[in-house]
C-alpha cells in the first residue's frame, strides 16, 4: 500500500476521533522534544522521529478535514511580506541609505 492508502486505512480502522487524538499526542511529543533541545539535550533523532509522526498525523487530518493548501498559499504570501517588512525594520541604516539614494535621483 502507498502512504496515503495506509493513512486512509488508519482512519477507517481506528476511526476519525482516535486519529485526531493521535495528532494531538504526536504534536505534544514533538513539542516536548523541542523543549528538551532548548534545555540543552542532544536529541536530533528524537525530534526527527516526532516530526515524522506529526507529518503522518497531519496527512490524516487533511484526509478528515480537507486540504488546507489554498489557505497555506495565502499564509506563505503573508509570511513573505512579513519577512520583507522585518528586513526593512531591522536595518534602519540601510533604509536611510535607500532614502538618500532616492533623494539624489
Ligand atoms: Mg511520537
- Cα–Cα distance measured from residue 86 to residue 39, given in angstroms and rounded to the nearest whole number: 28
Alpha carbon of 49 to ligand 1 centroid (Å): 7
The C-alpha cell 536529541 sits at 43
pLDDT (tens digit, 9 = 90+) per residue, 25-50?
Answer: 999 999 999 999 999 999 999 999 99
pLDDT value, residue 78: 98
pLDDT value, residue 101: 53
Banded model confidence at residue 88, pLDDT cuts 50, 70, 90: confident
Q: Are 26 and 50 in contact (CB under 8 A)?
A: yes
Q: Which residues surround ligand 1, an ion (CB under 5 A)?
A: 26, 29, 50, 53
The helix (run of H) or strand (run of E) holding residue 75 is: helix 69-90
Tell whether the model's pLDDT for residue 99 goes beyond 70.
no
Alpha carbon of 25 to ligand 1 centroid (Å): 7
Banded model confidence at residue 89, pLDDT cuts 50, 70, 90: confident
Amino acid at each position: 500500500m502507498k502512504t496515503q492508502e495506509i493513512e486512509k486505512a488508519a482512519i477507517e480502522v481506528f476511526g476519525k476521533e482516535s486519529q485526531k487524538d493521535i495528532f494531538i499526542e504526536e504534536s505534544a511529543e514533538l513539542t516536548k522534544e523541542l523543549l528538551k533541545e532548548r534545555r540543552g539535550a542532544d536529541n536530533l533523532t528524537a525530534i526527527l522521529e516526532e516530526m515524522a509522526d506529526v507529518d503522518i498525523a497531519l496527512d490524516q487530518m487533511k484526509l478528515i478535514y480537507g486540504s488546507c493548501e489554498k489557505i497555506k498559499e495565502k499564509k506563505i504570501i503573508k509570511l513573505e511580506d512579513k519577512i520583507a517588512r522585518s528586513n526593512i525594520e531591522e536595518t534602519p541604516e540601510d533604509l536611510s541609505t535607500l532614502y538618500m539614494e532616492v533623494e539624489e535621483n
